[in-house]
Every structure is written in C-alpha cells, then in structure tokens.
C-alpha cells in the first residue's frame, strides 16, 4: 500500500474528528484503497487493509492484536504496538496524524489551535533584505507545508505577506481541501492573488470599517491603543466560525505577534543549510534582559525533512 492510501485515510480522519460532537476516547482507522474511521467502537475486520488504533484517552481500556497502536499525547503520537506496518509508514503517521485530532483540543480551549511553520537559514533568516525567499526550504519541506495546509481548517497571513508575496494559499502539491484563507490587514491591501486562486470568500479581520471587497467576508475586532487586534480574539473568532485549526504562515511580524501573545501552540522551523548574514529575521520579539525570559517549549524534537531537518516545538498556554 502506498503512502497516498494512508494520506487519504488521514484526510478522512481529519474531517471525521472535526465533524464529531462526541468525546473521543479511541479511534480505529482501516487504511486501504478505501478507508474507514471508527470512533469509540471496534472496526469491521478486513484482512486487505492496515488497521491502526489511536488511544486518545489514556484511561481507555482498549487493544487489538491486529492493529498497530499509538498513544496520542497532545501533538505527539507514541508507538505502543506494531503490527505489519513498516518504518516509513509509522513515521508518516506519527508526523501527520496528531494534527487530525487537534479539533478535540480546540473544543476544550474554546479557541482555534495555532500552528506556524517557517523555512529559515542557519542564522535565522526567512528572506533576504530585498525580500527574496525562494527557495530556502527544499522540495520535501514544500510538500510538508502543503500537507499541513490540507490538515488545517484555516490558513492565516498578514498584510505584508499578502502584498509582497501575492500568495494563493491553496493546496496544490498534495490531495486535500483548501483551508479557509484568513488575512489580517488594512483595507488598502491587494487581494487579487487570493481572489483568483479560489472562489471561497477570504476572511478578512481588521479593526476598521468593512471595505466591502469582492469575494471577502470582513469581521471587525476591537484593537488596542497601538491599533493591533489581540491574537486570542482572533483564535476565538475562528473557533466560533467552525475553524478549529489555523496554520499561521507569515509573515515575520504576524507570527511574532502570535508568539509574543502566547497564541502559538506548535512551531515548526525547517532549517536550511544556508547563512545569509543579513536579511529578514524569523522573529522580532520584545527585548529581554535574561535568558530565563526567552520563549520556551514544553516539548520539542527534530525531524529529518529530505536532506535537512525540522525543529518542532510544542507550547502549552492553558
């Protein structure tokens, strides 16, 4: 069975978890040419398929001797028992399956769960001083980014990224549905790349009046004295709209704002073997005087991505 079969199963799992209203204690997934997801119940046996069990509630007394079993611990999937799955498949599932379950965390927190991803140089640059960022990451990282887009219900950028990069923010390199596109920006921004990339309305969040732009939905949120909208308010708004996960894809100012306001739950940094010596920093945060004031992670790991690697850090704010 190819990884594409497993990817199809993950897309089905993502949608099933997002749609359910029941408390999920465990989940069986039958991976094959067609896939089935069973929440809190035993699966229908099928020897032609690969059966996987994910235990969500650590107190759930469930096991299956013909299923590869994982324990879900927030955004980490721990292999508990292996049955007829090779190392490549186990690594693939461990990388992407936890994100399918994030709607469960969103419901507990009553806000969207935020994941951010950057490709950066060894000295922490995401673009040159002239704004060139193609191609810092490798092809494997680009595919990973599109998989993350497909697994998240929304994708968010700021006005600088919109005006400079002219992105479409769609899923193109893998199969899956496009996430809801969300932009934090002023009314003078250029939305042409988003309007041509998809027919789905762009969700625009700002603090001013509705600009009445074509193919957009505008939501006004209160701003602070500096004219900035609180990131916690943004995550609550997304949750209220049924968008349980948000993929914060830039730029540096937007992501730094979310990070400074403790509104990023998972941070992914793809490290490219490059040194710029100048350019745009990945993060711009308030000055600190002590190392103890730095952003810390509750858990982190490093993962190979093609011929490079990615740092993945998890932060708990609740």
| Nearest Cα residue to 147 out of 254, 37, 3 | 3
DSSP string spanning 220-237?
A: E--B-TTSPBPHHHHHHH
pLDDT in tens, 35-78: 999 999 999 989 999 999 999 999 998 989 999 999 999 899 99
Quote the CA–CA distance of 144 and 96 in Å, as a whole number.
9
| Helix H or strand E encompassing 50 | strand 50-55
Same domain, 84 and 187: no
Other beta carbons within 10 Å of 143: 15
| Nearest Cα residue to 145 out of 123, 170, 128 | 170
Ranges of residues in the chain whose predicted pLDDT is under 70: 186-190, 195-198, 318
Other beta carbons within 10 Å of 166: 14
Domain harbouring 283, CATH code: 3.40.430.10
Judge whether 37 lies within some domain. yes
Which of 68, 100, 132 is where one domain is finished? 100
Quote the CA–CA distance of 237 and 292 in Å, as a whole number.
32
Position 197 scores a pLDDT of 62
Which of 100, 135, 153 is where one domain is finished? 100
Cis peptide before 135 (omega within 30 of 0): yes
Same domain, 22 and 167: no
Position 163 scores a pLDDT of 75
Is the distance from CB of 259 to CB of 295 less than 8 angstroms?
yes
Q: How many residues make up the chain in this entry?
A: 318
Position 186 scores a pLDDT of 62
Position 210 scores a pLDDT of 78
Domain count across the chain? 2
Quote the CA–CA distance of 56 and 218 in Å, as a whole number.
36
| Nearest Cα residue to 265 out of 255, 274, 275 | 255
What angle in degrees, to the nearest 10, is found between the helix axes of 102-109 and 3-19? 20
Same domain, 146 and 116: yes
Which of 77, 100, 123 is where one domain is finished? 100
CA 294 and chain centroid, separation: 23
Collapsing DSSP to helix, strand or coil, 134 comes out as coil
Can you give the residue range of the structural domain that contains 69? 3-100
Please give the structure tokens belonging to residue 280. Answer: 């745009």
Alpha helices (H) along the chain: 3-19, 87-100, 102-109, 139-151, 159-165, 192-197, 231-240, 252-260
Judge whether 106 lies within some domain. no
Position 188 scores a pLDDT of 63
Judge whether 105 lies within some domain. no
Q: In angstroms, how far apart are the furthest CA atoms of the chain?
A: 62
Position 185 scores a pLDDT of 77
């Amino acid at each position: 069975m190819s990884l594409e079969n497993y990817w199809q199963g993950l897309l089905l799992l993502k949608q099933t978890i997002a749609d359910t209203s029941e408390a999920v204690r465990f989940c069986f997934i039958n991976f094959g040419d067609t896939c089935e997801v069973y929440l809190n119940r035993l699966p229908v046996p099928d020897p032609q398929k690969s059966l996987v069990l994910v235990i969500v509630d650590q107190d759930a007394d469930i096991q299956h001797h013909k299923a590869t079993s994982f324990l879900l611990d927030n955004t980490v999937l721990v292999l508990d028992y292996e049955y007829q799955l090779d190392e490549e498949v186990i690594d693939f599932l461990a990388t992407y399956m936890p994100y399918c379950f994030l709607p469960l965390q969103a419901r507990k927190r009553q806000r969207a769960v935020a994941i951010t991803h950057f490709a950066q140089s060894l000295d922490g640059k995401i673009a040159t001083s002239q704004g060139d960022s193609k191609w810092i990451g490798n092809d494997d990282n680009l595919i990973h980014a599109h998989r993350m887009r497909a697994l998240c219900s929304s994708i968010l950028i700021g006005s600088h990224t919109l005006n400079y990069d002219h992105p479409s923010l769609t899923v193109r390199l893998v199969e899956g549905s496009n996430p809801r596109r969300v932009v934090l920006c002023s009314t003078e921004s250029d939305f042409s790349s988003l309007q041509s990339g998809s027919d789905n309305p762009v969700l625009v969040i700002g603090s001013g009046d509705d600009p009445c732009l074509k193919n957009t939905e505008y939501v006004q949120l209160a701003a602070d004295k500096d004219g900035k909208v609180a990131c916690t308010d943004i995550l609550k708004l997304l949750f209220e709209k049924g968008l349980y996960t948000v993929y914060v894809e830039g730029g540096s100012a937007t992501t730094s704002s979310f990070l400074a306001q403790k509104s990023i739950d998972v941070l992914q940094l793809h490290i490219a073997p490059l040194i710029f010596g100048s350019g745009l920093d990945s993060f711009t945060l308030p000055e600190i005087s002590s190392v103890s004031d730095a952003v810390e992670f509750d858990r982190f790991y490093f993962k190979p991505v093609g011929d490079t690697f990615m740092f993945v850090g998890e932060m708990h704010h609740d």
